């Protein structure tokens, strides 16, 4: 492998930046909703097994436990862990996005491969004052890379910075 | 686009309409499609001729549309674009930029060849199907159109690009096709075809399955009346013979289909175009501009490796197309001698360095992990077997750990990558191997990822994303890299890709 010659334009200067801390609240809320639905389904399942076979306490209780566990994971554990695990960095050549708690992923996108950059803000995101930045390449499986949970101003600034670097490499 | 220059040679204007025999070809296509069901219906349900007549009335609009299309169709090649117009009531005019054209293919079914015409499909990167289809043109006109479209794309091909004869890169002979067919993995498709035939038969003859089962049951009853003890053996034997017969039939069908599809396969280089010409009954000619090749894959399945053969596949930015497999468009070379591939690569990638790459191995800890995984699986199997049979002999399976370890080591030897001179090579596989070659300028994104097990061993995986991944089996990837190597390699790849311009 070639030696790691650094660019004269100082690409090692950039540091990894975290998402906006408010995204934890957003993810907790989303986790609440998803977890709530799951929990409700489990409770229903537990009630149904209890009604069909009153002696099967263990199974009914099992449903309840699974549902509660899923809810707790989605609202209490996952959001803060995901927040700590997600970061991004933009330097002169590459956008790098790291994410993932169990499966840790690092996506590197050469800036000159960006086809276009989107800002997306769902209703819940808007309530928290956040947006997601989505970059598109001409690739197949990594055709879009998302940086979630950015403050509105930060997202816009990042988008401007990326759009500046987009070359004319259209397919 | 090259600016018009009085001294430069401009291509003659190419314009025209569809060939007069278009309607005849269309009529034959329609007839072929309805003839078999019509005959079958008439044979099995003679009273349904009324239905047949009503059904044929539905074909009239199709004929009207075809006539309108033939009468109104116009095409011409302007500087920088191909313009296609058709329609009377609803007029459509389509402009296809020549520098976006990925492929221009000519297709000739048996009837086309008899009549001396061909169908032309123009493909760009957008959409799933051809941007423009011209059915049918005379062969001469089709060739002229191809020259005009491919030659007029405005890249600096040189003044005498058209005057050079195409250089033949490879030919695939019947013997190689035969071997390729025998070693192909198209058995699944045979069953699909059989299933389709059975389903169709069920539609035509109701209760086919019950009748067949009853007939078979009666035959078996008669056949085994005098042999009560050997009924089970006979049934097993019959079953085995049937299975064997199916496998043989599948192999024969596979061979025949390969021979028919790729008969006379010729890969040639015309200017910047890789041209594939092949086919026995339906003759196909497909162009692929070299600079549009995103990634090349050389696949050697175990069966093919035994004969020293390989398949070469190329992805273009156009991505996956429908019916690519059945029309043979998913391969660059359906079967080729492995040792000849090295000489072929510089014709596909002109910047490829002459020297073969220096391969880097991945982490040796991968061997340990593979061995441990195999040991765990074998222990589980041994425990299960011992419990099931109640004897300690099941533990003998654990001895398989040794060959598993050897296999892991061999696998490790064949897993590797090489990065240099603007190209990334990856290879993997022990029994069946695949090698990928990617020009770094085609790298769209690089991803490294780890599972918890990877992190414990300090390993990581790397995947390269390119445009239009369709036939090369999921893109170049390297597993079991040292985590630090993965990070550095990803960084280096992304930076170099950023420096290089992604050519259209």
pLDDT at A3: 39
Q: Regarding predicted confidence, which is higher, B271 or B504?
A: B271
The model's pLDDT over B47-57, given as tens digits with 9 standing for 90+, comes to 767 777 777 77
Q: Please state the separation of Cα B397 from the chain's center in Å.
A: 40
Closest-CA distance of chain A to residue B390, Å: 32
- Chain B residues in contact with A136 by the CB 8 A cut-off are none
Give the lowest-confidence range in A45-49, B184-188, B287-291.
B184-188
Element (H, E) at B287: strand B283-289
Q: Is the pLDDT of residue B102 over 70?
A: yes
Nearest one of B202, B435, B444 to B301, comparing CA atoms: B435
Least confident of A149-163, B113-127, B241-255, B461-475: B241-255
Give me B391's structure tokens. Answer: 């004897």
- This prediction has a pTM of 0.76
When pLDDT is averaged across residues B225-238 and rounded to a whole number, the result is: 61
Instruction: Specify the range with the lowest mean pLDDT, choosing from A38-47, B27-36, B82-91.
Output: B27-36
pLDDT tens figures, B311-354:
999 988 776 776 777 788 888 999 999 999 989 999 999 989 88
Amino acid A11: pLDDT? 46
Burial B448-464 (b: 16+ CB within 10 A, else e): bbbeeebeebebbbbbb
Has residue B393 got a pLDDT over 80? no
With cut-offs at 50, 70 and 90, classify the pLDDT of residue B220: low
Q: Which residues of B touch A138 (CB under 8 A)?
A: 317, 444, 467, 502
pLDDT greater than 50 at residue A168: no
Contact B319 A140 (CB under 8 A): yes
Cβ of A7 and B495 within 8 Å? yes
Lowest mean pLDDT among A133-137, B153-157, B421-425: B153-157
Stretch A48-63: mean pLDDT: 79
Closest chain A CA to residue B465: A139
pLDDT tens figures, B5-43: 544 555 557 888 999 888 888 888 888 777 777 777 777
B318 Cα to chain A: minimum distance (Å) = 10
Taking CB atoms and an 8 Å limit, are B497 and A110 in contact across chains? yes
Nearest to B269 by CA among B348, B160, B375, B345: B348
CB hemisphere CA count around B187 (13 angstroms): 11
Q: Is A11's CB within 8 Å of B495's CB? A: yes
The angle that helices B59-72 and B22-44 make with each other, rounded to 10 degrees, is 170
Give percent above pLDDT 70 in chain A: 89
Question: A23: closest CA among A161, A118, A96, A121?
Answer: A121
Whether pLDDT at B105 is above 60: yes
A109 contacts B445? CB cut-off 8 A: yes
Contact B498 A93 (CB under 8 A): yes
Which of chain A's residues have a Cβ under 8 Å away from the Cβ of B445?
107-110, 113, 137, 139, 142, 145
Residue A169 has its nearest CB partner, among B465, B485, B501, at: B501
| Interface contact flag, B448 A105, Cβ < 8 Å | yes
Whether pLDDT at B192 is above 80 = no
- Enumerate the H helices of B104-185 as residue ranges: 110-115, 139-151, 174-182
- Partner B contacted by A100 (CB < 8 A): yes
> Which DSSP letter does residue B404 get?
H
**Nearest Cβ partner of B449 from A93, A105, A138?**
A105
Sheet architecture: strand order including A130-136: A116-120, A130-136, A144-151
Q: Which residues of B touch A (CB under 8 A)?
A: 125, 317, 319, 360, 419-420, 443-452, 455, 463, 465-469, 475, 485, 487-495, 497-499, 501-502, 504
Tokens of B156: 């600096």
Which of A100, A107, A169 lies nearest to residue B502, judging by beta carbons? A169
List the Cα angle A9/A96/A134 in 5-degree steps: 120
Pick among B316, B462, B495 to test the A interface (most A CBs inside 10 A): B495
* Interchain CB distance below 8 Å, A140 and B493: no
What mean pLDDT value characterizes chain B? 81
Confidence of residue A138 (pLDDT cuts 50, 70, 90): confident
Q: Measure CB to CB from residue B497 to each of A106, A113, A171 and give the nearest one.
A: A113
Other CB atoms within 10 Å distance of the CB of residue B437? 23
Query: How many angstroms separate the CA atoms of A129 and A23, rounded?
Result: 9
Q: How far apart are CA B242 and CA B237, in angstroms?
A: 8
Suggest the residue from A4, A106, A147, A165 to mutate for an interface test with chain B (most B CBs closer than 10 A): A106
User: What is the mean pLDDT of the segment spanning B348-370?
Assistant: 89
Chain A residues within 8 A of B320 when measuring between CB atoms: none
pLDDT grade, residue B290 (50/70/90)? confident
Residue contact A141–B502, C-beta within 8 A: no
Residue B136: cis peptide before it, omega within 30 degrees of 0: yes
Q: What is the pLDDT of residue A2?
A: 41
pLDDT at A169 over 70: no
Q: Is the pLDDT of residue A90 over 80?
A: yes
- A3 contacts in chain B (CB < 8 Å): none
Instruction: Work out the end-to-end distance of chain A between its first and last CA atoms, rounded to an integer number of angstroms.
Output: 30
Which of B320, B464, B498, B504 is most worth mutating to test chain A (most A CB atoms within 10 A of its CB)? B498
B472 to each of B40, B261, B302, B356, how far by Cα in Å? 41, 20, 17, 21
Q: Taking CB atoms and an 8 Å limit, are B465 and A137 in contact across chains?
A: yes
Q: What's the average model confidence in pLDDT over B446-471?
A: 91
In this structure, are residues B278 and B284 in contact, taking their beta carbons and an 8 Å threshold?
A: yes
């Amino acid at each position: 492998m070639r030696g790691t010659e650094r660019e004269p334009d100082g690409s090692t200067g950039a540091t990894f930046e975290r998402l906006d801390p408010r995204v934890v609240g957003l993810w907790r809320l989303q986790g609440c909703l998803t977890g709530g639905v799951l929990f409700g389904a489990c409770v229903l399942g537990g009630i149904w097994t209890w009604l069909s076979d009153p002696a099967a306490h263990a199974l009914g209780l099992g449903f309840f436990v699974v549902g509660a566990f899923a809810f707790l994971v989605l609202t209490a554990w996952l959001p803060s862990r995901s927040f700590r695990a997600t970061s991004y960095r933009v330097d002169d050549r590459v956008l790098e996005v790291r994410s993932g708690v169990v499966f840790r992923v690092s996506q590197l996108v050469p800036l000159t491969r960006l086809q276009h950059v989107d800002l997306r803000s769902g209703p819940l995101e808007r309530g928290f004052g956040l947006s997601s930045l989505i970059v598109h390449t001409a690739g197949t499986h990594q055709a879009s890379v998302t940086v979630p949970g950015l403050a509105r101003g930060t997202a816009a600034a990042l988008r401007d910075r990326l759009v500046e670097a987009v070359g004319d490499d259209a397919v | 686009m090259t600016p018009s220059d009085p001294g430069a040679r401009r291509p003659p204007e190419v314009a025209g309409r569809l060939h007069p025999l278009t309607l005849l070809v269309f009529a034959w296509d329609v007839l072929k499609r309805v003839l078999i069901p019509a005959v079958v219906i008439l044979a099995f349900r003679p009273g349904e001729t009324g239905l047949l007549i009503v059904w044929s009335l539905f074909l009239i609009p199709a004929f009207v549309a075809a006539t309108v299309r033939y009468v109104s169709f116009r095409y011409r090649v302007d500087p920088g674009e191909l313009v296609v117009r058709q329609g009377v009531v609803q007029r459509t005019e389509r402009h296809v930029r020549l520098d976006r054209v990925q492929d221009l293919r000519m297709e000739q079914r048996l009837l086309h060849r008899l009549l001396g015409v061909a169908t032309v499909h123009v493909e760009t990167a957008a959409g799933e199907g051809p941007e423009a289809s011209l059915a049918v043109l005379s062969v001469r006109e089709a060739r002229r159109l191809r020259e005009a479209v491919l030659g007029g794309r405005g890249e600096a091909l040189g003044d005498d690009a058209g005057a050079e004869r195409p250089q033949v890169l490879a030919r695939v002979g019947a013997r190689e096709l035969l071997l390729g067919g025998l070693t192909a993995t198209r058995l699944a498709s045979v069953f699909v075809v059989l299933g389709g035939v059975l389903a169709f038969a069920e539609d035509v003859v109701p209760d086919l399955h019950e009748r067949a089962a009853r007939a078979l049951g009666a035959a078996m009853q008669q056949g085994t009346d005098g042999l009560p003890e050997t009924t089970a053996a006979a049934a097993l034997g019959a079953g085995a013979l049937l299975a064997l017969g199916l496998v043989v039939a599948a192999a024969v069908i596979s061979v025949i289909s390969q021979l028919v599809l790729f008969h006379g396969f010729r890969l040639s280089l015309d200017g910047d175009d890789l041209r594939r010409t092949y086919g026995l009954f339906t003759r196909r000619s497909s162009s692929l501009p070299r600079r549009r090749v995103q990634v090349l894959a050389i696949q050697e399945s175990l069966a093919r490796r035994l004969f020293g053969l390989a398949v070469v596949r190329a992805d273009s930015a156009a991505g996956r197309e429908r019916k690519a497999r059945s029309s043979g468009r998913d391969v660059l070379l359906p079967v080729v001698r492995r040792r000849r591939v090295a000489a072929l690569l510089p014709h596909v990638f002109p910047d490829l360095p002459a020297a073969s790459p220096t391969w880097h191995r991945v982490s040796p800890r991968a061997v340990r992990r593979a061995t441990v995984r195999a040991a765990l699986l074998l222990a589980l199997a041994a425990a299960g077997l011992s419990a099931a049979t109640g004897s300690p002999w099941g533990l003998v399976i654990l001895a398989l750990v040794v060959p598993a370890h050897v296999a892991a080591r061999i696998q490790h030897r064949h897993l590797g990558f090489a990065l240099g001179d603007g190209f990334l090579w990856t290879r993997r596989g022990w029994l069946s191997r695949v090698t990928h070659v990617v020009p770094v300028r085609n790298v769209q994104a690089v991803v490294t990822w780890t599972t918890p097990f990877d992190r414990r061993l300090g390993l990581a995986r790397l995947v390269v994303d390119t445009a239009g991944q369709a036939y090369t089996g999921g893109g170049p990837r390297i597993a079991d890299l040292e985590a630090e190597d993965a990070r550095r390699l990803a960084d280096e790849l992304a930076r170099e890709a950023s420096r290089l311009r992604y050519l259209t």
